[in-house]
Every structure is written in C-alpha cells, then in structure tokens.
C-alpha cells in the first residue's frame, strides 16, 4: 500500500492555537520515574490500532535504556483517573524537541481529548528546557504522522498551529507476517 508521511513543525510558541477544554477531570502528568513497563503498555495500547510496530521487538533492556535517557519525558493524559493517552517528548540538539509518540488509548477517541492533549504537549515541549539543566531554549517542536494514523491526526496538528514542512510517499507492506507479538522480552 502507499504510505504518506507528513513532517510538521512549529518555531514559535505564540503560534499555538489551544483546543477547547474537554469534559471531565482532565490531568496531564509527567512520568517522573522511568517506567519501561508503563511506556511499553502505553505504546502497545495506543499504537495497536495504528500499526505501530517499530518497538514491538524491544527487550526489557531496550525499554529501560529508552525511558532512562536524559532529555526524554513521558506525559500521560488522564480522564477521571484513567489513562486516556500519552506522548513522549525528546530534547534534541539545536533547541529542537520532537514529539516522538502521541496518541489516545482505545475508547477515548472522539471526546475532544486529542486537541487538548496536543495543546498541553506543545506547551510542555516549549518549556522542556526549564526541567532539564543545561539545555538550550526550545527553538523548534516537530513531529511526523502518516496515513496509517487516525483520520483526525493531521488536522489536529494543523489546528494547533503546526505546519507541514516535508511530505514523503512510499510503498509499504502492512501485512502482519513477521511481526513480533506484544509482550515483554528478556534481554
């Protein structure tokens, strides 16, 4: 099948167009202690519907190394106490922050949570250096999405003020042959 990938960015925090507040007790909480099992759970539950497969073969050691990296933050959106979505922010050289993963768990789509979570994620990306000693100020926040992601993903990113700066197209095999089943692996 043909896969289109859009790369989006923002270079000015003032370009953020906040989403409306959804109903319920919504909280956006940073995971303060690296938790490889929790990150894996979030990755699998959010990404399962969107064919996120690049990390399925990771071992416990891989997950531990990823979540303990300086400059990486995991943020979880909670709705009435239940995890509803998550994002990973990664500080990069040159004042860039990548929104590495972003998405909602099954059952939380269509409630206005995606726009609110992206608003909060972008705010946290812009102030990430405040939480990391010695980091240069954020100059650019970027991410990518593709045609396998949710039908509203690209429009949500654009609605919050991100602009497409690159588009790629490629042919990919989306069959399940050769994929690694979810579940922890030993090192």
User: What is the tens place of the pLDDT at every residue in 133-184?
Assistant: 888 999 999 999 988 888 889 999 999 999 999 999 998 876 654 444 444 4
**What's residue 68's pLDDT?**
94
- How far, in Å, CA of 43 to CA of 103, rounded? 9
**What's residue 124's pLDDT?**
97
Q: pLDDT tens across 38-55, in order?
A: 999 999 999 888 888 889
- Rg over CA atoms, the chain: 16
Residue 42: closest CA among 2, 75, 5:
75
Average pLDDT of span 107-116:
92
**What's residue 177's pLDDT?**
43
Fold of 2-171: Aminopeptidase (3.40.630)
**What's residue 80's pLDDT?**
96
Average pLDDT of span 119-131:
96
DSSP, res 117: H
DSSP, res 83: E
**What's residue 29's pLDDT?**
98
- Mean of the per-residue pLDDT values for the chain? 90
Residue 153: closest CA among 126, 115, 97, 99:
115
- How far, in Å, CA of 67 to CA of 162, rounded? 26
**What's residue 187's pLDDT?**
46
**What's residue 173's pLDDT?**
77
Weakest-pLDDT range from 8-12, 77-81, 108-112: 108-112
Q: pLDDT tens across 51-78, in order?
A: 888 899 999 999 999 999 999 999 999 9
Count CB atoms within 10 A of the CB of residue 53. Answer: 15
Average pLDDT of span 118-124:
97
Count CB atoms within 10 A of the CB of residue 162. Answer: 26
């Amino acid at each position: 099948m043909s896969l289109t990938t859009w790369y989006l960015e923002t270079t000015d925090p003032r370009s953020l167009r906040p989403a409306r507040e959804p109903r319920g007790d919504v909280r956006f909480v940073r995971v303060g202690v690296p938790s490889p099992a929790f990150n894996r759970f979030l990755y699998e539950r959010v990404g399962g519907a969107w064919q996120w497969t690049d990390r399925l073969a990771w071992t416990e050691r891989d997950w531990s190394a990823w979540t303990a990296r300086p400059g990486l933050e995991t943020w979880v959106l909670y709705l009435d106490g239940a995890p509803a979505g998550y994002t990973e922010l990664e500080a990069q050289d040159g004042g860039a922050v990548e929104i590495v993963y972003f998405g909602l768990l099954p059952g939380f789509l269509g409630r206005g949570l995606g726009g609110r979570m992206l608003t909060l994620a972008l705010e946290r990306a812009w102030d990430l250096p405040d939480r990391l000693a010695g980091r240069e100020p954020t100059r650019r926040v970027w991410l990518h999405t593709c045609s396998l992601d949710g039908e509203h993903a690209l429009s949500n990113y654009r609605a919050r003020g991100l602009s497409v700066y690159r588009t790629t197209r490629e042919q990919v095999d989306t069959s399940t042959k050769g994929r690694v089943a979810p579940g922890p692996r030993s090192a």
